[in-house]
Amino acid sequence: MSEADRFVVCASHSPGMARDVDRVFGPKFRAGIDQVRDLVDAFAPDVVVLFGGDHRRAFRNIVPSFAVALSAGIMAEAGHPAGRLRVPAELSRALADRLLDAGFDIAVCREIELDHAFAQPLRDLTAGLDAYPVIPVPINCATAPLPTPERVLEFGAAVGQFLDGIAERVLVIGTGGLSHSPPSLEVDTHDISDEDRARIIAAGFEAAAQKINPEWDGAFLDAMASWDTTRLVDLVRVARAEAGVGANEVRTWLAAGAAGGGKPFETIAYEPVEKWITGMGLAIS
């Protein structure tokens, strides 16, 4: 498969967007999502490779830097029911084998339950969770120590080398960021209950809404526009300090861009949405 048979989409996600069922907030971002969904439909992928982070829900006691799921479900969340992903087991296993051969000691996951980091981009950009076969590729973006941005770029490039050898048309998605600092991730613990998580989020919501950093977001999107990996690495290294703990999720953007061949990105939309406590960005390559 050539790089022309890959379409890369990087997008922010937010539970607040899913709860905003009346579509009151984020009109620019929502319009961009509608535009990119049409492009995805026209591209008509055979399979989706989805780089997503974890919010200390799927991985609590054992946290791999990189993983490949051979089967996966989606947990019920933000008014959405639980669901299943159509993971192409043979292709997913082939990717895992290729990554191990390339020197990445990945974790292989079966029957893992993933959250909105994986569900939301599929619901937003496609007809639903089961619209296409999906290979979930979790990257640790929440629980220190995190993989370095340089290693993430290498990992994404290794996925891209695997994609070079298959016939399928691939939609590559990176999901997370941009600047935001979810209260539940600011707490440095891995084992809080869902009830405590909800309490912490509610108590810290107003403060989190003020932690969006459009300047950092703009610099990151600008670096993506030229695929300036030196600048991207520098920005990711200061992400938590300058853009909040949730900004670490842009590691998924680096992986997706590298898997797509390291081409420049076009920014489709950017909008800081305080009610979603996130700088919402959307870019394609």
* Burial of 44 from C-beta contacts in 10 A (0-12 / 13-18 / 19+): exposed
CA–CA distance, 11 with 232 (Å, rounded to integer): 16
Give Cβ neighbours of residue 215 (< 8 Å, ≥ 6 apart). Answer: none
| Helix segments in the chain, DSSP class H | 15-19, 27-43, 89-101, 116-125, 149-164, 183-186, 194-209, 214-226, 229-237, 239-243, 251-259
The one-letter amino acid at 6? R
Q: Which of 13, 55, 80, 180 is catalytic?
A: 180
Does 116 qualify as catalytic in the annotation? yes
The 8-class DSSP code of residue 50 comes to E
Please identify which of the residues 13, 55, 80, 116 carries the catalytic annotation.
116
Is 190 among the catalytic positions? Answer: no
Collect all residues with Cβ–Cβ distance below 8 Å to 66 and sequence separation of at least 6.
99, 104, 106, 107, 137, 138, 139, 140, 147, 155
Contact 175, 11 (CB under 8 A): yes
**Secondary structure of residue 149 in the 3-state scheme:** helix
- The catalytic residue positions are 116, 180
